[in-house]
Amino acid sequence: DQQVKQNSPSLSVQEGRISILNCDYTNSMFDYFLWYKKYPAEGPTFLISISSIKDKNEDGRFTVFLNKSAKHLSLHIVPSQPGDSAVYFCAAITGGTSGTYKYIFGTGTRLKVLA
Amino acid sequence: GAGVSQSPSNKVTEKGKDVELRCDPISGHTALYWYRQSLGQGLEFLIYFQGNSAPDKSGLPSDRFSAERTGGSVSTLTIQRTQQEDSAVYLCASSWDRLEKDTQYFGPGTRLTVL
């Protein structure tokens, strides 16, 4: 039962154009979302996050949009650069018992930016 | 400063053997997580440690899996009587405090191959 879904396993984009990575979730109790980027042979690194009280968060070339009614978020990278080529994971945080939190990760989307 | 480190980076073992995977979190981080990523899958939560509290073992797939965290720092994930389906990349992450929606910092992972 995949609570966080990234339905596109891969995406190719031309350098300079916009990359849009999508993520859908099923649990309306998720209230915080993160995007991680992973290069081969390295661990994921945090990229950007958004709280459910917002619908947009921007950091340089990276913007995350959240549509709570659709249970959908997306990561926009503009302009895309060859160095952005990596696997991108969407993650959601849900409140657990005793005030702790659990991270639920999607399956990832492999982005390839073509020079 | 030093990030999260994991050893070994690669481990090949025969079915039925036991393996130990090590994680050194970032100094001062009280929360430590183990995940695994099987081929084509997302990051699957295994176990979490927070300070001196009892670990959250809810993600461990079977009783062949166990983990320890000594002195609130280094952690060891042990898989007994390995099976071929245990083959995956095992990732460790740490953060300051799981009681906050905090960014996790990942290690490079250990790629386990069970023949």
The ranges assigned to domains in chain B are: 19-95
Q: What CATH number does the domain containing A22 carry?
A: 2.60.40.10
Report the number of distinct structural domains present in chain A. Answer: 1
Give the residue from chain B lying closest to A8, CA to CA.
B40
Closest of B31, B25, B71, B36 to residue B48, by C-alpha: B31
Contact list, B106 vs chain A (CB under 8 Å): 36, 43-45
Contact list, A10 vs chain B (CB under 8 Å): none
Domain assignment of residue A77, given as a range: 4-114
Report chain B residues touching chain A, CB-CB < 8 A: 4, 9, 33, 35, 40-45, 48, 50, 56, 91, 93, 98-99, 101, 103-109
Give A7-32 pLDDT, tens digit per residue: 999 999 999 999 999 999 998 888 88
* Span between the terminal Cα atoms of chain A, in Å: 37
Contact list, B35 vs chain A (CB under 8 Å): 105
> What are all long-range contacts of B13-18, with beta carbons under 8 Å and residues at least 24 apart?
B13/B82, B13/B112, B13/B113, B13/B114, B13/B115, B14/B82, B14/B114, B14/B115, B15/B82, B15/B83, B15/B84, B15/B114, B15/B115, B16/B81, B16/B82, B17/B81, B17/B82, B18/B78, B18/B79, B18/B80, B18/B81, B18/B82
- The CATH code for residues B19-95 is 2.60.40.10
In angstroms, rounded to a whole number, what is the distance separating the alpha carbons of residues A92 and B7? 28
Compute the nearest-CA separation of B17 from chain A (Å): 25
Give B27-73 pLDDT, tens digit per residue: 988 889 999 998 877 889 899 888 878 888 888 999 999 999 988 78
Mean pLDDT check: name the lowest of A56-60, A91-95, B46-50: A91-95
Compute the nearest-CA separation of B98 from chain A (Å): 6
